[in-house]
Chains A and B, each alone.
Chain A
């Protein structure tokens, strides 16, 4: 029980922070510095995943609306972002390299101190969104049990014990954290089985090879629209407009809020002018109709966040994740 309390406190803090944060957008004045060559946009994950899709989408927006330079996405998958973080660390002072990060931005340096990565050295550019998480089940289970609410879910999962399979992306990842929370909050023994990507996880559920997932809406969306899978509740502050019938965990008495950052970060020691340039660029991307439409469609939340405010947010989130990883036993 203490475990659950500590986690939920941290989560609530993070959630409240996300809501109350006022934004520090860059000024509208044109920056003096301009890229002299194509800009490398490092993706902290493999091709075809959620982060990769978002980067290629932004690349498209920048190219189509002629907002800025040529953007070249470069995938540095592997090691839960360790490879990408190490790469960016080595590009010290490079004004033509930026990266798109997730929450492994906090967890990977914590879990692998050998990397020698201190995220405070990176240059904050802009948080483009926060992705959300929901609890999903199949609408046509093999055993015929039609699970419609968290109560139904708890009853079924309790009865199944460790035969209940929760599929998720990666070990000691966001999905793993949420599964641990559900297990301790409801006294369940669900078995967590890690897969390589959100798409694969969604498919395990839709094909009845897993009993539940805690996927991002964008990952489960296709099957939701086809009526194959159903969100029971979401780890958000407010109900997600796409799923008006799914309550938040807060509403049903478990104060648990968790988001995943989708943030643009610059190299350590990037010049202030370059930082300002990218700040302006991504402000324009953020405000574009296309990005707003993408956010809406993928149920992304979170205000834009830049500069010192973004750095403060990183530090706070890192502390939250440190506490969670300790509870999980992933770090000492």
Chain B
């Protein structure tokens, strides 16, 4: 333990070198901006700025990129809250409650909550990282396909009831997501599937961002335009105010949600370590569990600040977690860490089981810089909130075209292909129609993120087991898979049990108090 403290102090010495400190601040600011743009996430930011890192020594380079990664995680929440468009898949869950809060004129509250929760998530996960890197790396290693599938089932199970009351419409929405997720090349059989009209681009699959920006961005805009026209002309996108007094009151209120923050952080960190998918399932699961443990679960999805806290704590914690398998195993836990890994090889470092012993000043400098980056990111983020609120106050007639342009750029930028833009516009119309007919959108988005991961893990597991489903519930040979699967089943039936109990108690109340 004392050894870790010494190593960490050495790390802080590295992080506080003037050049490195400047890189941290620069990285956070750049990340915040990139994350806030719909369509651009940490993956694009890190990929675009990777060449710049040849100008500085390797430790400075990774510190810069890690700060950028962090900043983007903070920034992703901004467009989720303000525009209802998730800037990246990691910020999807943030829209569920962040957007309603903004509509109620509490955008500042949601943004403050997102920033503080991100800080908590980042800090708690770095502490966990500092204390227990090697044993957790071992868990990441033994995690195979059955375990991944069980984890995906857990993620789906935490989401039961997310869609609202109309179960048939929820199932329909999930099915749309699953079908879109199935488009493209099938890893297991190696054959193209659902390539409509023989358009080769469909072989590439339907990307999450195209769907998310389409139905949330374009669809939501169309819907808002219609509502505004009906209401008799131009107004603001949402009522929003901000003041120091309000911010302090918001911060005070956040302290009460510390349990949700800790839950989201620990969960996000653990899920982030597992080399399945990085921060997206982590944040979705945290949202689901946050709802289950909340004192007021019914207000989730309608503007409960805990619905912002849980996923935001989790996605930052997961971004720290996904660095662990990258550093110790040389396996990226997320697409962004995959690019970081490429960078490390370029700088002449050898990520893998021996990195901690071969390059201590690099590793501990990075860990220390994560502490520092967290601090700067939260300060920058809260400082910028008035600016974001100011944007929201612009007249809708001015803001709407800007958002449309941002959506189009966001759809085009990651792949530089017009095919994605056309597809996105199509999804925009579909999203608008779904809203109009009162279909829930979140289940479709959830299905397109988790569907392919679950499908692949399921099929690979069944290939390994020769078709035996028992591979998922075998506590002797596959203890992790069995444990997670049982947890998923419990979570699946818990809401049902709660619902029955609530029915019973409300039934009693109704009988004493006739309506």
Q: Which residues of A contact B (CB under 8 A)?
A: 47-49, 52-53, 56-57, 59-60, 63-64, 73-74, 76-80, 82-83, 86, 112, 114-115, 162-163, 165, 170-173, 191, 193-196, 199-200, 202-204, 206-209, 221-223, 225-226, 228
B204, A79: Cβ atoms under 8 Å?
A: yes
- Report the interface size for chain B: residues with CB under 8 A from the other chain: 49
In the complex, A171→B51 CA distance in Å? 33
**Interface residue from A47, A60, A76, A202 paired with B54 (Cβ < 8 Å):** A60
Q: Which residue of B lies closest to A222 (CB)?
A: B352
In the complex, A59→B185 CA distance in Å? 29
B190, A171: Cβ atoms under 8 Å?
A: yes
B331, A78: Cβ atoms under 8 Å?
A: no
Residues 451-483 of B contacting A (Cβ, < 8 Å): 456, 460, 463-464, 466
B352, A47: Cβ atoms under 8 Å?
A: no
Interface assignment of B171: CB less than 8 Å from any CB of chain A = no
What's the A-B contact tally at a CB cutoff of 8 Å?
A: 131
> Contacting chain A: which of B14-22, B125-133, B343-351, B362-370?
B343-351
B203 surroundings in chain A (CB, below 8 A)? 78-79, 82-83
* Nearest chain A CB to B305 CB, angstrom units: 35
Q: List 20 A-B contacts (CB under 8 A).
A: A48-B341, A49-B338, A73-B47, A79-B192, A79-B203, A82-B203, A83-B204, A112-B192, A115-B200, A170-B190, A171-B188, A172-B190, A194-B460, A196-B456, A202-B331, A203-B275, A208-B142, A222-B353, A225-B350, A225-B354
- Contact status of A206 and B141, CB under 8 A, knowing A78-B203, A80-B190: yes
A86 surroundings in chain B (CB, below 8 A)? 200
In the complex, A228→B345 CA distance in Å? 20
Q: A200-B275, A209-B145, A209-B464 are in contact. List 13 more A-B contacts (CB 8 A).
A: A48-B342, A56-B50, A73-B47, A77-B204, A78-B205, A79-B200, A80-B185, A171-B187, A171-B188, A173-B190, A191-B464, A199-B332, A222-B351
In the complex, A231→B343 CA distance in Å? 26
Residues 115-157 of B contacting A (Cβ, < 8 Å): 141-145
- Contact status of A48 and B204, CB under 8 A, knowing A79-B192, A193-B463, A222-B350: no
Give 10 nearest A-B pairs by CB, closest first. A48-B338, A171-B190, A222-B352, A226-B353, A209-B144, A79-B203, A222-B330, A78-B204, A207-B141, A86-B200
- Contact status of A203 and B204, CB under 8 A, knowing A79-B184, A191-B464, A193-B460: no
Q: Which residue of A lies closest to B48 (CB)?
A: A72
A207, B190: Cβ atoms under 8 Å?
A: no
In the complex, A52→B335 CA distance in Å? 12
Interface assignment of B198: CB less than 8 Å from any CB of chain A = yes
Q: Which residue of B lies closest to A197 (CB)?
A: B338
B205 surroundings in chain A (CB, below 8 A)? 78
**Interface residue from B187, B200, B332 paired with A170 (Cβ < 8 Å):** B187
Interface assignment of B176: CB less than 8 Å from any CB of chain A = no
- Contact status of A171 and B346, CB under 8 A, knowing A82-B200, A82-B203, A200-B331: no
B464, A193: Cβ atoms under 8 Å?
A: yes
A83 surroundings in chain B (CB, below 8 A)? 200-201, 203-204
A47, B144: Cβ atoms under 8 Å?
A: no
B275 surroundings in chain A (CB, below 8 A)? 200, 203
A56 surroundings in chain B (CB, below 8 A)? 50, 339, 342-343, 346
A48, B332: Cβ atoms under 8 Å?
A: yes
A202 surroundings in chain B (CB, below 8 A)? 330-331
In the complex, A203→B54 CA distance in Å? 29
**Interface residue from A49, A60, A78, A206 paired with B185 (Cβ < 8 Å):** A78
In the complex, A188→B342 CA distance in Å? 36
A57, B345: Cβ atoms under 8 Å?
A: yes
A194, B190: Cβ atoms under 8 Å?
A: yes
A74, B341: Cβ atoms under 8 Å?
A: no
* Nearest chain A CB to B417 CB, angstrom units: 8
A63, B351: Cβ atoms under 8 Å?
A: no
A199, B331: Cβ atoms under 8 Å?
A: yes
B191 surroundings in chain A (CB, below 8 A)? 171
B343 surroundings in chain A (CB, below 8 A)? 56
* Nearest chain A CB to B457 CB, angstrom units: 11
Q: Which residue of B lies closest to A114 (CB)?
A: B198
A222, B338: Cβ atoms under 8 Å?
A: no
* Nearest chain A CB to B140 CB, angstrom units: 8
- Contact status of A60 and B200, CB under 8 A, knowing A48-B341, A78-B185, A193-B463: no
**Interface residue from A52, A163, A225 paired with B352 (Cβ < 8 Å):** A225
A60, B143: Cβ atoms under 8 Å?
A: no
Of residues A48, A82, A193, which shows the largest number of chain B Cβ atoms within 10 Å of its Cβ? A48
Interface assignment of B416: CB less than 8 Å from any CB of chain A = yes
Interface assignment of B515: CB less than 8 Å from any CB of chain A = no
Interface assignment of B43: CB less than 8 Å from any CB of chain A = yes
A207 surroundings in chain B (CB, below 8 A)? 141-144
A82 surroundings in chain B (CB, below 8 A)? 185, 192, 200, 203
